[in-house]
Amino acid sequence: MKLLELLRRLSVPYIARHRLRTAVTLFGVALGVAAMTALRLAYEPISRSYQIAVKRLAGRSSIQISNGEIGVPEELLDEVRRVPGVDVAAASVRGYVRLPNHPGERLYVLGVDMLDDQQVRDYGDEGVAKMSAPPAAPAEKPAAGSPAASAAGAQGAPASGSGKLLEVEDPLVFLAKADSVALSPEFLRENHLEVGDTIEVQGSSGRATLRIRGTLDSRRGVGSLFGGRLALMDIFAAEKLFHLDHRFSQIDVVVKPRADIERVAEAIAQVAKGRGVVQAQEASFQAAKALLEIEESNTTFEAFGAMVVGLYLIFNTMLIAVSQRRREIGILRSLGMRRWGVVKLILVEAGALGALGCAVGVAFGIGLARVMSLPFVFRLAETRIPVAPAKIVVDVGTLVLAAATGIVGALVAAAIPAYEASKVHPLEALRPYARPGELTQTADQGERYWTAAATGLALAVGSFVLWLEGRRLIGEYRAALVAMAGFLVGISLMVPLMVRAFARLAEPVLRRSGIALAALANRALLSHMGRTAITTTVFVMCFSFVTEVGAAYATLSKTFDRWFNALFADTDLIVSAGAATLHPTTTGLPDELAEQIAGLAGVSGASALRLAKVNFNGYLVDLVAMDARAQNLDLVDGDRAVVASELSSGKGVAIDERLAYNFGLHAGQVLMLASPRGTVSAPIVAVVHHSENFRDMGAVVLDRRVYRSVWGDRTVDLIEVRLKPGADAGSVMKEIRTRWGDKYELFITTVGRFKQQTRREVERDLAEVPPILAIALAIAVMAVVSSLLAAVLDRIRELAVMRAVGATRRQITALIVLEALIIGLGGAFLAAGIGVAFGYYQFAILSRSLNGVALVYSQPLRVIVLASAAALMLPALAAYLPARQVARLEVSAALASE
């Protein structure tokens, strides 16, 4: 009979009969395929989408001059225009505004000089000129750079064609009025607005009212960016809105044809003299790509975990299938099927299930890709350019990868069960009950466990060596990921020996304990050591992950506390604009507000903090400017008083350990920072501890007076208020709210609540952990239950004999539950040990080397105890129902199967 015929007549009916098990197998395949598919689909479109966004925003320009949120001085624009090789230079002001009357909405403002900008960015075939409906005679020439100048220029521009991306009713009015804004039709529709209406926006300078005088095509050109949340307005109106004092956010440069971009960039840099960072557009894209790669590496590790779990599920279900079908396989063997034929049959069966699982996996993977891509889209939006969540496109390559993952994965996972099946002796069909040892090998497999443990130990040590030495070759991050994976696999290989040792140690204790059933259960586990070991390994890995997550929470929480408590040691109230305090997209406040608040009754003092993103070595880093707060710095080393005095006198700056790590900096070196006044040399006087956030590149800390005078920025992000002894916090908050609440849309809170809010931001990074934890626990329980099920199927006859010699149903149930309990007990011990070791390795050692941040490592005993209790109890609880079912077996039928 042909293999496919066998598959149709034997395998298909079996699969159809065991729907639940087939579903578990399919789930296993789908899980692995989905992880790999999502990994491939999630990042590539974002990368593409980001590239498109960068290109659309950059337009024809190939060089940009910027300096994070600080921006570049206005006068630089004309100087740049005079640089040889520069064809066009156009400035822009960019930033977020909130909409007080439309809660939850925000707009990304692009303030441009319309005339200049249409030479750089795409506004349609006719550019801004098409806006002009009736041509009008030029009026008196306005001052250069003013909105009126833009309008005048627009009038003079040619008007032809039909591809309008920006449509306004009266272009003259649009250009002449500083409060004009163009928005997308989608935004207008969703917010019940129309052209001619006014809209309130909240910028750094307070509230402003803009009039909607045009619409932007959100399908093409610049208007297609930011998912239709783009507001196009005049550059000087935007400057005022963002409290930018004669500064632009960025200057984009179009070089002349055949001019060398690098040379022009160098020439501009010489002219800029550090007043802005000159970068080719490509460099900006590369920096984002690097960020993307880190995200991808992180997810690869998670996908690897999902693959392992998927493989385990397939392995286990196939093993059960082989156990159940020994008789059938024995018959096939007795009828002449060769061992290789049996292997092929099982493998083809697994391969077919793998192929079926692929279809489910791809569909699941597409959904997962969307979910995975969103957090990164948000991070890009916060730190770089907002991109719309990209459309997920399934290409042939992805399908091939999915098929390969599913089918090859299923084949790999089914290899051992297939090998087991091939060992079924024909006598199992002819003489269904044979004495143990007669048909199968029962040689002590201790040697194999020792070999596996030795290999595991070598792998774990090798991983450590790779981490130490390999980072030079493949980079710190990749080396750490590979090392962690190696460490994990190494430990997994050592688990079987540990389990065996545990069970052997437990045996005499259990025998002496008088609990006969426990001793029997332990003996049963020992006699099926291979399966017990694999199950316990999965179980241990899942529960050690739980312990490790506990360490992650506690460590990040303690690190956050160290950072927060040091920074806000004597603060009572926090005042900021908008609820998202210290968020990159918040709008700032004018610094005079701090002085005004300080003058209120009940307030002993108020100091301000500015958190700005600036360019440093091509990356955006945080510039933290603080008012007389240096004494609160959490120094890695050094004397606080000395550092505070050096900072306040402008003798230098402090950097945090993340910046020090990322750029190889240390105290004593000189930092070169771009500022509107040109390059600033800032000696590093100290290194301070970092917060728990590893996604940023680091921070430079300096005194706000120094910052204000050098960078000319009077905006602040947060005002810390200190109350007089006995003053009522509620009254002071009410007073601040009454006086300035509406004007600046203030968010006023106590430092305690602010801490909670900021902590929530920290915990947002761990938001994906609980679902993963739930999956890990479910897998651990599923592993134990399915393994016990396989064991029970193998021992159905033994159990029937026990019933025949006097074991009650309750005793049979108890026996199986006890087996689960023993796996749980051994697993709990091992998981606690491995979890603590892995957590320490990851957070106390690896984090410092990987992120440059010394975390306050903490492993709460409560988590270990709870995880151990769960590890002990969950398998027993989960095993109860199957055990009860097995206990109801028909004794005579099971015995008659001989």
Partner 1 sequence: MIRIEKLCKVYGSGPTAIHALKDVSLEVRRGEFLVLMGPSGSGKSTLLHLLAGLEAPTSGEIYLDEMPITKMSDDQMTVFRRRHIGFVFQFFNLLPTLSAEENVALPLLLDGQSMKSARPKAVSMLERVGLGRRLNHRPDELSGGEAQRVAIARALVFEPSLLIADEPTGNLDSRNGEEVLSVIRDLARQFGVTVVMATHDPRAAEYGDRIARLRDGELVEEGTIPVERKAVR
Residues within the interface to partner 1 (CB under 8 A): 433, 435-438, 442, 511-512, 514, 516-517, 519-520, 523-524, 526-527, 797-798, 801-811, 890-892, 895-896, 898
In this complex, which beta carbon is closest to partner 1, that of residue 814 or of residue 828? 814
Tokens of residue 574, six digits: 């926090």
Shortest CB 434 distance to partner 1, Å: 8
- State the Cα–Cα distance between residues 814 and 520, nearest whole angstrom: 11
Cβ 492 to partner 1 shortest distance, Å: 26
Of 803, 577, 728, the closest CA to residue 98 belongs to 577
CA pair distance 568, 759, nearest whole angstrom: 14
Measured from the CB atom, the residue of 225 and 520 that comes closer to partner 1 is 520
Q: Which is nearer to partner 1, 677 or 797 (CB)?
A: 797
DSSP 8-state secondary structure symbol assigned to residue 843? I
Q: For 132, what's the count of Cα atoms within 13 Å in the CB-facing half-sphere?
A: 25
CA–CA dist 167, 223 (Å, integer): 11
Least distance between partner 1 and beta carbon 312 (Å): 25
C-alpha span between 328 and 471 (Å, rounded): 53
User: HSE on the CB side for 365, CA within 13 Å?
Assistant: 34
Return the ∠ at Cα 386 (arms to 383 and 391), rounded to 5°.
135
Q: Are 777 and 542 in contact (CB under 8 A)?
A: yes
DSSP letter for 738, please.
Answer: I
Grouping H, G, I as helix, E, B as strand and the rest as coil, residue 620 is strand
The residue among 469 and 898 lying less far from partner 1, judged by its C-beta, is 898
| Residue 91 or 529 having the CB closest to partner 1 | 529
Closest distance to partner 1 from the beta carbon of 420 (Å): 17
The residue (of 734 and 888) whose beta carbon lies closer to partner 1 is 888
Render 457-474 in DSSP notation, one character per residue: HHHHHHHHHIIIIIHHHH
- Tell me how far, at minimum, the Cβ of 395 lies from partner 1, in Å: 54
Helix orientation angle between 281-324 and 529-567, rounded to the nearest 10 degrees? 150
Q: Give phi and psi for 258, each to the nearest 5.
A: 70, 0
Closer residue to partner 1 (CB): 442 or 604: 442
Least distance in Å: CB of 445 to partner 1? 14
Integer angstrom CA distances of residue 728 from 560, 572, 722, 739: 28, 11, 11, 17
Q: In whole angstroms, give the CA distance from residue 361 to residue 355.
A: 10
* CA angle, 751 then 752 then 753, to 5°: 90
327 three-class SS: helix
Pair of tokens at residue 112? 């441009």
* Contact of 689 with 563, CB cutoff 8 Å: yes
Which is nearer to partner 1, 434 or 628 (by Cβ)?
434
Can you read off the two tokens belonging to residue 544?
A: 């050690």
- Closest by Cα among 62, 452, 442, 501 to 284: 62
Which token pair is 590? 């004018």
Compare residues 161 and 508 and give the one whose CB is closer to partner 1: 508
CA distances (Å), 611 to each of 433, 588, 698, 714, 755, in order? 77, 9, 12, 12, 17
Shortest distance in whole angstroms from residue 424 CB to partner 1: 17
In the bound state with partner 1, the residue whose beta carbon lies nearer, of 413 and 791, is 791
Least separation in angstroms between CB 893 and partner 1? 8
If the CB atoms of residues 731 and 808 are measured against partner 1, the closer one turns out to be 808
Query: Looking at beta carbons only, is 527 or 750 nearer to partner 1?
Result: 527
CA 132/CA 558 separation, integer angstroms? 61
Give the chain's end-to-end CA distance (angstroms, integer).
Answer: 28
Beta carbon nearer to partner 1, 440 or 849: 440
Nearest approach, Cβ of residue 534 and partner 1 (Å): 19
Residue 816's nearest CA partner among 508, 567, 413, 517 is 517
Least distance CB 898 / partner 1 (angstroms):
5
Give the C-alpha separation, 178 to 209, whole Å. Answer: 10
Q: Rounded to the nearest whole angstrom, what is the least distance from the CB of residue 820 to partner 1 in the complex?
A: 17
Instruction: Calculate the CA 445 to chain-centre distance.
Output: 43
Largest CA distance in the chain: 112
Residue 811 CB, nearest distance to partner 1 (Å)? 6
Planar angle of CA 820, 823, 827, nearest 5 degrees: 140
Smaller CB separation from partner 1, 495 or 521: 521
- Residue 207 near residue 100, CB atoms below 8 Å: yes
* Minimum distance from residue 450 beta carbon to partner 1 (Å): 22
- Number of residues assigned to the chain: 898
Return the number of the residue (287 or 895) whose C-beta is nearest partner 1: 895
Smallest separation, CB 871 to partner 1 (Å): 25
Tell me which residue has tokens 């402003």. Answer: 208
- Answer yes or no: are the C-beta atoms of 831 and 551 closer than 8 Å: no
- Looking at the Cβ atoms of 709 and 808, the one nearer to partner 1 is 808
DSSP letter string, 124-183: BTTGGGGG-SS-----SPPPTTSHHHHHHHHHHS----S-BSEEES-HHHHHH-TTEEEE
Minimum CB–partner distance for residue 841 and partner 1 (Å): 38
Between 379 and 511, whose beta carbon lies closer to partner 1? Answer: 511
CB of 527 to partner 1, least distance (A): 4
What are the Cα distances from residue 534, in Å, to 678, 700, 808? 64, 50, 30
Q: Closest separation between CB of residue 327 and partner 1, Å?
A: 15
